[in-house]
Structure 1
Amino acid sequence: MTAGTPEPVAGSPDPAAPPPPSVYNVANLLTLLRIALVPLFVWLLVQDGLGWRLGAFAVFAVASVTDKIDGDLARKYGLVTDFGKIADPIADKALTGAALVTLSALGELWWWVTIVIMVREIGITLLRFVVIRYGVIPASKGGKLKTMLQVLAIAAMLLPGPLDPVRWTLMAAAVVVTTVTGLDYVLQAWRMRRAARV
Protein backbone atom coordinates (compact mmCIF):
# COMPACT_ATOMS: atom_id res chain seq x y z
CA MET A 1 0.00 0.00 0.00
CA THR A 2 1.42 3.38 -0.95
CA ALA A 3 2.14 6.05 1.64
CA GLY A 4 -0.80 8.27 2.40
CA THR A 5 -3.37 5.73 1.19
CA PRO A 6 -5.75 4.91 4.01
CA GLU A 7 -6.18 1.26 4.84
CA PRO A 8 -9.67 -0.13 4.27
CA VAL A 9 -11.79 -0.42 7.37
CA ALA A 10 -12.68 -3.99 8.30
CA GLY A 11 -16.17 -4.85 7.13
CA SER A 12 -16.38 -1.94 4.70
CA PRO A 13 -17.20 -2.63 1.03
CA ASP A 14 -14.28 -3.15 -1.31
CA PRO A 15 -13.96 0.04 -3.41
CA ALA A 16 -12.59 -2.05 -6.28
CA ALA A 17 -15.60 -4.37 -6.31
CA PRO A 18 -18.31 -3.68 -8.90
CA PRO A 19 -21.46 -2.04 -7.53
CA PRO A 20 -24.40 -4.33 -6.83
CA PRO A 21 -26.95 -4.56 -9.64
CA SER A 22 -29.90 -2.22 -9.49
CA VAL A 23 -33.22 -3.75 -8.54
CA TYR A 24 -34.62 -1.92 -11.57
CA ASN A 25 -33.20 -4.28 -14.18
CA VAL A 26 -34.69 -6.19 -17.09
CA ALA A 27 -34.64 -9.55 -15.30
CA ASN A 28 -36.72 -8.22 -12.40
CA LEU A 29 -39.04 -6.39 -14.79
CA LEU A 30 -39.73 -9.68 -16.57
CA THR A 31 -40.49 -11.28 -13.21
CA LEU A 32 -42.96 -8.49 -12.41
CA LEU A 33 -44.49 -8.89 -15.87
CA ARG A 34 -45.05 -12.58 -15.13
CA ILE A 35 -46.87 -11.69 -11.92
CA ALA A 36 -48.94 -9.05 -13.73
CA LEU A 37 -49.99 -11.59 -16.38
CA VAL A 38 -51.51 -13.95 -13.79
CA PRO A 39 -54.88 -12.13 -13.36
CA LEU A 40 -55.16 -11.65 -17.14
CA PHE A 41 -54.51 -15.36 -17.65
CA VAL A 42 -57.18 -16.35 -15.11
CA TRP A 43 -59.71 -13.93 -16.63
CA LEU A 44 -59.16 -15.35 -20.10
CA LEU A 45 -59.34 -18.92 -18.83
CA VAL A 46 -62.78 -18.54 -17.22
CA GLN A 47 -64.32 -17.10 -20.39
CA ASP A 48 -66.34 -19.31 -22.73
CA GLY A 49 -65.18 -19.85 -26.28
CA LEU A 50 -62.25 -21.23 -28.25
CA GLY A 51 -60.67 -17.81 -28.83
CA TRP A 52 -60.57 -17.02 -25.12
CA ARG A 53 -59.05 -20.42 -24.38
CA LEU A 54 -56.33 -19.92 -26.97
CA GLY A 55 -55.71 -16.48 -25.51
CA ALA A 56 -55.27 -18.00 -22.05
CA PHE A 57 -52.84 -20.55 -23.49
CA ALA A 58 -50.86 -17.79 -25.22
CA VAL A 59 -50.59 -15.71 -22.03
CA PHE A 60 -49.51 -18.78 -20.04
CA ALA A 61 -46.90 -19.61 -22.68
CA VAL A 62 -45.51 -16.07 -22.70
CA ALA A 63 -45.38 -15.94 -18.90
CA SER A 64 -43.63 -19.32 -18.76
CA VAL A 65 -41.03 -18.23 -21.30
CA THR A 66 -40.23 -15.10 -19.27
CA ASP A 67 -39.26 -17.40 -16.39
CA LYS A 68 -36.51 -18.92 -18.54
CA ILE A 69 -35.43 -15.58 -20.01
CA ASP A 70 -35.19 -13.62 -16.75
CA GLY A 71 -33.13 -16.34 -15.10
CA ASP A 72 -30.71 -16.53 -18.03
CA LEU A 73 -30.34 -12.74 -18.17
CA ALA A 74 -29.79 -12.44 -14.42
CA ARG A 75 -27.00 -15.03 -14.44
CA LYS A 76 -25.35 -13.94 -17.69
CA TYR A 77 -25.22 -10.21 -16.95
CA GLY A 78 -24.86 -10.30 -13.17
CA LEU A 79 -28.37 -9.01 -12.49
CA VAL A 80 -29.12 -11.31 -9.56
CA THR A 81 -30.69 -9.30 -6.71
CA ASP A 82 -32.26 -10.18 -3.36
CA PHE A 83 -35.57 -8.94 -4.73
CA GLY A 84 -35.28 -11.28 -7.70
CA LYS A 85 -34.45 -14.25 -5.48
CA ILE A 86 -37.71 -13.70 -3.61
CA ALA A 87 -39.97 -12.50 -6.43
CA ASP A 88 -39.00 -15.13 -9.01
CA PRO A 89 -40.27 -18.22 -7.12
CA ILE A 90 -43.35 -16.26 -6.04
CA ALA A 91 -44.10 -15.47 -9.68
CA ASP A 92 -43.63 -19.12 -10.66
CA LYS A 93 -45.93 -20.44 -7.97
CA ALA A 94 -48.52 -17.71 -8.62
CA LEU A 95 -48.70 -18.69 -12.30
CA THR A 96 -48.83 -22.46 -11.88
CA GLY A 97 -51.03 -22.22 -8.79
CA ALA A 98 -53.54 -19.95 -10.52
CA ALA A 99 -53.66 -22.31 -13.49
CA LEU A 100 -54.19 -25.43 -11.39
CA VAL A 101 -56.81 -23.87 -9.10
CA THR A 102 -58.75 -22.37 -12.02
CA LEU A 103 -58.68 -25.63 -14.00
CA SER A 104 -59.98 -27.48 -10.92
CA ALA A 105 -62.67 -24.85 -10.34
CA LEU A 106 -63.76 -25.32 -13.96
CA GLY A 107 -64.03 -29.08 -13.38
CA GLU A 108 -61.22 -29.92 -15.80
CA LEU A 109 -58.68 -31.14 -13.24
CA TRP A 110 -59.17 -33.22 -10.12
CA TRP A 111 -58.86 -31.13 -6.98
CA TRP A 112 -56.59 -33.68 -5.32
CA VAL A 113 -53.99 -33.10 -8.05
CA THR A 114 -54.05 -29.36 -7.41
CA ILE A 115 -53.89 -29.87 -3.64
CA VAL A 116 -50.93 -32.28 -3.84
CA ILE A 117 -48.92 -29.94 -6.06
CA MET A 118 -49.76 -26.78 -4.13
CA VAL A 119 -49.07 -28.33 -0.71
CA ARG A 120 -45.68 -29.47 -2.00
CA GLU A 121 -44.82 -26.09 -3.53
CA ILE A 122 -45.86 -24.01 -0.52
CA GLY A 123 -44.47 -26.52 1.95
CA ILE A 124 -41.01 -26.66 0.39
CA THR A 125 -40.89 -22.85 0.15
CA LEU A 126 -41.63 -22.58 3.88
CA LEU A 127 -39.15 -25.36 4.61
CA ARG A 128 -36.38 -23.42 2.85
CA PHE A 129 -37.01 -20.45 5.15
CA VAL A 130 -37.09 -22.67 8.26
CA VAL A 131 -33.70 -24.30 7.57
CA ILE A 132 -31.97 -21.24 6.09
CA ARG A 133 -30.06 -20.83 9.39
CA TYR A 134 -28.37 -24.15 8.64
CA GLY A 135 -27.78 -23.54 4.94
CA VAL A 136 -29.45 -23.16 1.57
CA ILE A 137 -31.13 -26.13 -0.09
CA PRO A 138 -29.96 -25.88 -3.70
CA ALA A 139 -32.31 -26.40 -6.62
CA SER A 140 -31.86 -29.93 -7.92
CA LYS A 141 -32.14 -31.34 -11.41
CA GLY A 142 -35.28 -33.06 -10.22
CA GLY A 143 -36.71 -29.70 -9.19
CA LYS A 144 -36.04 -28.28 -12.63
CA LEU A 145 -37.64 -31.36 -14.23
CA LYS A 146 -40.63 -30.88 -11.94
CA THR A 147 -41.09 -27.31 -13.10
CA MET A 148 -40.81 -28.28 -16.75
CA LEU A 149 -43.35 -31.11 -16.37
CA GLN A 150 -45.80 -28.87 -14.53
CA VAL A 151 -45.60 -26.23 -17.27
CA LEU A 152 -46.01 -28.81 -20.06
CA ALA A 153 -48.89 -30.54 -18.26
CA ILE A 154 -50.74 -27.28 -17.67
CA ALA A 155 -50.13 -26.17 -21.25
CA ALA A 156 -51.59 -29.46 -22.50
CA MET A 157 -54.62 -29.00 -20.23
CA LEU A 158 -55.16 -25.52 -21.65
CA LEU A 159 -55.04 -26.54 -25.29
CA PRO A 160 -58.40 -27.58 -26.76
CA GLY A 161 -58.73 -30.74 -28.78
CA PRO A 162 -58.44 -34.52 -28.34
CA LEU A 163 -55.24 -34.54 -26.30
CA ASP A 164 -56.45 -36.48 -23.26
CA PRO A 165 -53.75 -39.21 -23.31
CA VAL A 166 -51.04 -36.55 -23.57
CA ARG A 167 -52.66 -34.33 -20.92
CA TRP A 168 -53.04 -37.02 -18.31
CA THR A 169 -49.68 -38.64 -18.98
CA LEU A 170 -47.91 -35.30 -18.49
CA MET A 171 -49.99 -34.45 -15.42
CA ALA A 172 -49.35 -37.88 -13.88
CA ALA A 173 -45.61 -37.45 -14.47
CA ALA A 174 -45.74 -33.96 -12.98
CA VAL A 175 -47.51 -35.22 -9.83
CA VAL A 176 -45.05 -38.09 -9.35
CA VAL A 177 -41.93 -35.95 -9.84
CA THR A 178 -43.41 -33.14 -7.72
CA THR A 179 -44.02 -35.57 -4.85
CA VAL A 180 -40.67 -37.37 -5.11
CA THR A 181 -38.63 -34.16 -5.28
CA GLY A 182 -40.61 -32.75 -2.37
CA LEU A 183 -39.69 -35.75 -0.23
CA ASP A 184 -36.07 -35.39 -1.36
CA TYR A 185 -36.01 -31.74 -0.22
CA VAL A 186 -37.45 -32.75 3.15
CA LEU A 187 -34.71 -35.38 3.51
CA GLN A 188 -32.03 -32.82 2.58
CA ALA A 189 -33.40 -30.39 5.16
CA TRP A 190 -33.41 -33.09 7.85
CA ARG A 191 -29.81 -34.06 7.06
CA MET A 192 -28.73 -30.41 7.03
CA ARG A 193 -30.31 -29.76 10.41
CA ARG A 194 -28.89 -32.96 11.88
CA ALA A 195 -25.38 -32.13 10.63
CA ALA A 196 -25.59 -28.63 12.11
CA ARG A 197 -26.46 -30.02 15.54
CA VAL A 198 -23.61 -32.54 15.64
Structure 2
Amino acid sequence: MNLPNKITLSRIAFAFIFMFLLFCRGVLAKYLALFTFCIASLTDFLDGHIARKRNLENDFGRLMDPIADKILVLAAFLAFVELKIIPGWTVIIIIFRELVITGLRIIAAARGRVLSASLAGKHKTVSQMAVIISILVFLIIRESGQSFWNPLWELWFKRGAFYLMLLTVTLTLISGLSYLLRNKNILFAGNEKSD
Protein backbone atom coordinates (compact mmCIF):
# COMPACT_ATOMS: atom_id res chain seq x y z
CA MET A 1 0.00 0.00 0.00
CA ASN A 2 1.50 3.32 -1.05
CA LEU A 3 1.57 6.61 0.87
CA PRO A 4 -1.47 8.26 -0.80
CA ASN A 5 -3.57 5.16 -0.04
CA LYS A 6 -2.49 5.28 3.62
CA ILE A 7 -3.43 8.96 3.79
CA THR A 8 -6.84 8.14 2.27
CA LEU A 9 -7.46 5.44 4.90
CA SER A 10 -6.34 7.80 7.68
CA ARG A 11 -9.32 9.99 6.77
CA ILE A 12 -11.64 7.18 7.91
CA ALA A 13 -9.80 6.94 11.24
CA PHE A 14 -10.04 10.72 11.64
CA ALA A 15 -13.82 10.46 11.14
CA PHE A 16 -14.20 8.27 14.23
CA ILE A 17 -11.87 10.45 16.32
CA PHE A 18 -13.85 13.51 15.22
CA MET A 19 -17.18 11.97 16.28
CA PHE A 20 -15.78 10.98 19.67
CA LEU A 21 -14.50 14.51 20.32
CA LEU A 22 -17.72 16.14 19.12
CA PHE A 23 -19.78 14.29 21.73
CA CYS A 24 -17.35 15.08 24.55
CA ARG A 25 -18.34 17.92 26.86
CA GLY A 26 -16.56 21.25 26.96
CA VAL A 27 -15.24 23.81 24.53
CA LEU A 28 -11.78 22.21 24.33
CA ALA A 29 -13.30 19.04 22.88
CA LYS A 30 -15.10 21.15 20.25
CA TYR A 31 -11.84 22.89 19.32
CA LEU A 32 -10.16 19.49 18.98
CA ALA A 33 -13.09 18.21 16.91
CA LEU A 34 -12.73 21.19 14.54
CA PHE A 35 -8.96 20.68 14.34
CA THR A 36 -9.40 16.95 13.63
CA PHE A 37 -11.97 17.61 10.92
CA CYS A 38 -9.77 20.24 9.25
CA ILE A 39 -6.79 17.85 9.23
CA ALA A 40 -9.01 15.09 7.80
CA SER A 41 -10.29 17.48 5.12
CA LEU A 42 -6.73 18.41 4.16
CA THR A 43 -5.90 14.74 3.61
CA ASP A 44 -8.48 14.79 0.80
CA PHE A 45 -6.27 17.24 -1.08
CA LEU A 46 -2.99 15.72 0.08
CA ASP A 47 -3.54 12.12 -1.03
CA GLY A 48 -4.48 13.13 -4.58
CA HIS A 49 -1.66 15.68 -4.83
CA ILE A 50 1.00 13.15 -3.76
CA ALA A 51 -0.46 10.43 -5.99
CA ARG A 52 -0.35 12.67 -9.07
CA LYS A 53 3.05 14.20 -8.29
CA ARG A 54 4.75 10.84 -7.65
CA ASN A 55 2.77 8.92 -10.26
CA LEU A 56 1.23 6.66 -7.58
CA GLU A 57 -2.37 6.74 -8.78
CA ASN A 58 -4.05 3.33 -8.67
CA ASP A 59 -7.49 1.72 -8.69
CA PHE A 60 -7.55 1.33 -4.90
CA GLY A 61 -7.06 5.07 -4.45
CA ARG A 62 -9.65 5.97 -7.08
CA LEU A 63 -12.18 3.73 -5.35
CA MET A 64 -11.38 4.52 -1.71
CA ASP A 65 -10.88 8.30 -1.97
CA PRO A 66 -14.58 9.12 -2.51
CA ILE A 67 -15.63 6.44 0.01
CA ALA A 68 -13.37 7.99 2.68
CA ASP A 69 -14.89 11.39 1.86
CA LYS A 70 -18.39 9.99 2.34
CA ILE A 71 -17.54 8.40 5.69
CA LEU A 72 -16.03 11.63 7.02
CA VAL A 73 -18.86 13.88 5.83
CA LEU A 74 -21.70 11.54 6.83
CA ALA A 75 -20.16 11.02 10.27
CA ALA A 76 -20.34 14.77 10.83
CA PHE A 77 -23.86 15.18 9.46
CA LEU A 78 -25.22 12.25 11.48
CA ALA A 79 -23.63 13.73 14.61
CA PHE A 80 -25.28 17.10 13.87
CA VAL A 81 -28.66 15.37 13.51
CA GLU A 82 -28.13 13.66 16.87
CA LEU A 83 -27.25 17.07 18.38
CA LYS A 84 -30.47 18.48 16.82
CA ILE A 85 -28.62 21.09 14.77
CA ILE A 86 -29.81 20.02 11.31
CA PRO A 87 -32.97 18.16 10.20
CA GLY A 88 -32.64 14.44 9.59
CA TRP A 89 -34.35 14.52 6.18
CA THR A 90 -31.49 16.54 4.68
CA VAL A 91 -29.02 13.83 5.68
CA ILE A 92 -31.35 11.08 4.40
CA ILE A 93 -31.28 12.72 0.94
CA ILE A 94 -27.48 12.92 1.04
CA ILE A 95 -27.19 9.27 2.16
CA PHE A 96 -29.57 8.19 -0.63
CA ARG A 97 -27.45 9.98 -3.22
CA GLU A 98 -24.26 8.44 -1.86
CA LEU A 99 -25.78 4.94 -1.88
CA VAL A 100 -26.87 5.33 -5.51
CA ILE A 101 -23.42 6.53 -6.61
CA THR A 102 -21.65 3.86 -4.54
CA GLY A 103 -23.94 1.26 -6.11
CA LEU A 104 -22.93 2.50 -9.55
CA ARG A 105 -19.26 2.20 -8.56
CA ILE A 106 -19.81 -1.38 -7.36
CA ILE A 107 -21.50 -2.30 -10.66
CA ALA A 108 -18.61 -0.72 -12.56
CA ALA A 109 -16.02 -2.55 -10.40
CA ALA A 110 -17.80 -5.86 -11.06
CA ARG A 111 -17.34 -5.14 -14.77
CA GLY A 112 -13.66 -4.38 -14.37
CA ARG A 113 -13.96 -0.60 -14.35
CA VAL A 114 -13.13 1.94 -11.65
CA LEU A 115 -15.08 5.19 -11.57
CA SER A 116 -13.02 8.00 -10.11
CA ALA A 117 -14.59 11.00 -8.41
CA SER A 118 -16.04 13.59 -10.80
CA LEU A 119 -15.25 17.30 -10.68
CA ALA A 120 -18.84 18.05 -9.62
CA GLY A 121 -18.47 15.44 -6.88
CA LYS A 122 -15.31 17.13 -5.63
CA HIS A 123 -17.11 20.50 -5.54
CA LYS A 124 -19.94 18.84 -3.63
CA THR A 125 -17.49 17.43 -1.08
CA VAL A 126 -15.80 20.81 -0.62
CA SER A 127 -19.19 22.49 -0.05
CA GLN A 128 -20.17 19.83 2.49
CA MET A 129 -16.90 20.22 4.36
CA ALA A 130 -17.31 24.01 4.39
CA VAL A 131 -20.79 23.66 5.90
CA ILE A 132 -19.48 21.26 8.55
CA ILE A 133 -16.64 23.60 9.49
CA SER A 134 -19.09 26.54 9.72
CA ILE A 135 -21.36 24.57 12.06
CA LEU A 136 -18.37 23.53 14.19
CA VAL A 137 -17.30 27.17 14.52
CA PHE A 138 -20.85 28.07 15.65
CA LEU A 139 -20.71 25.25 18.21
CA ILE A 140 -17.42 26.56 19.58
CA ILE A 141 -18.84 30.09 19.87
CA ARG A 142 -21.89 28.72 21.68
CA GLU A 143 -19.80 26.60 24.06
CA SER A 144 -17.41 29.50 24.72
CA GLY A 145 -20.21 31.94 25.53
CA GLN A 146 -22.54 29.82 27.63
CA SER A 147 -22.75 32.52 30.30
CA PHE A 148 -24.04 35.17 27.86
CA TRP A 149 -25.53 32.98 25.10
CA ASN A 150 -28.87 34.38 23.96
CA PRO A 151 -31.72 32.01 22.94
CA LEU A 152 -32.27 34.26 19.90
CA TRP A 153 -28.73 33.49 18.74
CA GLU A 154 -29.59 29.79 18.95
CA LEU A 155 -32.51 30.40 16.59
CA TRP A 156 -30.30 32.27 14.13
CA PHE A 157 -27.64 29.58 14.39
CA LYS A 158 -30.06 26.76 13.61
CA ARG A 159 -31.73 28.74 10.83
CA GLY A 160 -28.34 29.49 9.28
CA ALA A 161 -27.36 25.82 9.54
CA PHE A 162 -30.65 24.85 7.88
CA TYR A 163 -30.10 27.15 4.88
CA LEU A 164 -26.50 25.97 4.52
CA MET A 165 -27.78 22.39 4.49
CA LEU A 166 -30.36 23.25 1.82
CA LEU A 167 -27.55 24.58 -0.37
CA THR A 168 -25.47 21.48 0.30
CA VAL A 169 -28.37 19.12 -0.47
CA THR A 170 -28.98 20.96 -3.76
CA LEU A 171 -25.32 20.67 -4.79
CA THR A 172 -25.30 17.02 -3.70
CA LEU A 173 -28.30 16.19 -5.89
CA ILE A 174 -26.93 18.13 -8.88
CA SER A 175 -23.55 16.39 -8.66
CA GLY A 176 -25.24 12.99 -8.27
CA LEU A 177 -27.41 13.54 -11.33
CA SER A 178 -24.40 14.74 -13.32
CA TYR A 179 -22.43 11.65 -12.30
CA LEU A 180 -25.26 9.30 -13.27
CA LEU A 181 -25.69 10.96 -16.67
CA ARG A 182 -21.97 10.81 -17.38
CA ASN A 183 -21.76 7.12 -16.48
CA LYS A 184 -25.24 5.87 -17.37
CA ASN A 185 -23.89 3.45 -19.97
CA ILE A 186 -22.10 1.54 -17.17
CA LEU A 187 -25.55 0.24 -16.22
CA PHE A 188 -25.90 -1.09 -19.76
CA ALA A 189 -22.36 -2.52 -19.95
CA GLY A 190 -21.09 0.51 -21.85
CA ASN A 191 -17.84 2.35 -21.51
CA GLU A 192 -17.01 4.66 -18.64
CA LYS A 193 -16.93 8.40 -19.18
CA SER A 194 -14.48 9.50 -16.54
CA ASP A 195 -13.73 13.04 -15.39
Does the TM-score normalized on the shorter chain lie above 0.5?
yes
Secondary structure of residue in 2 paired with 1:72: helix
181-190 or 133-142: which moved more? 133-142
The superposition leaves residues 123-176 of structure 1 with CA deviations (integer Å, 9 ceiling, x where unpaired) of: 201112224539655543321211110110111111123673654443222110
Query: 2:47 and 2:124 mapped to 1: Cα distance?
Result: 19
- Structure with higher helix content: 2
Listed as ranges, the gaps of 5+ residues in structure 1 are 1-22
**Residue 62 of structure 1 corresponds to which residue in structure 2?**
39
**Residue 102 of structure 1 corresponds to which residue in structure 2?**
79
Q: Does 1:171 align with 2:171?
A: no
TM-score (norm 2): 0.78
**Residue 130 of structure 2 corresponds to which residue in structure 1?**
152
Listed as ranges, the gaps of 5+ residues in structure 2 are 142-152
Query: 2:190 and 2:60 mapped to 1: Cα distance?
Result: 28
Q: 1:192 to 1:127 in 2, by over 3 A?
A: closer
The superposition leaves residues 65-98 of structure 1 with CA deviations (integer Å, 9 ceiling, x where unpaired) of: 0110111100110112333233322221111111
40-49 or 167-176: which moved more? 167-176
Tell which structure's C-alpha radius of gyration is larger: 1
Does the CA-based 8 Å contact 2:21-2:32 persist in structure 1? yes
Query: 1:35 and 1:194 mapped to 2: Cα distance?
Result: 32
**Residue 118 of structure 1 corresponds to which residue in structure 2?**
95
Secondary structure of residue in 2 paired with 1:159: helix
> What amino acid sits opposite 2:172 in the alignment?
T
**Residue 187 of structure 1 corresponds to which residue in structure 2?**
181
Q: Does 1:141 align with 2:119?
A: yes
Instruction: Report deviation, 1:196.
Output: 3.6
Does the CA-based 8 Å contact 2:107-2:187 persist in structure 1? no
Does the CA-based 8 Å contact 1:149-1:170 persist in structure 2? no
**Residue 26 of structure 2 corresponds to which residue in structure 1?**
49
Q: 1:45 to 1:34 in 2, by over 3 A?
A: same
**Residue 12 of structure 1 corresponds to which residue in structure 2?**
none
Q: Does 1:39 align with 2:12?
A: no
> What amino acid sits opposite 2:104 in the alignment?
L
TM-score (norm 1): 0.77
Query: 1:40 and 1:193 mapped to 2: Cα distance?
Result: 37
The superposition leaves residues 95-141 of structure 1 with CA deviations (integer Å, 9 ceiling, x where unpaired) of: 11111111111111111111111111122011122245396555433
Q: 1:125 to 1:98 in 2, by over 3 A?
A: same
Secondary structure of residue in 2 paired with 1:71: helix
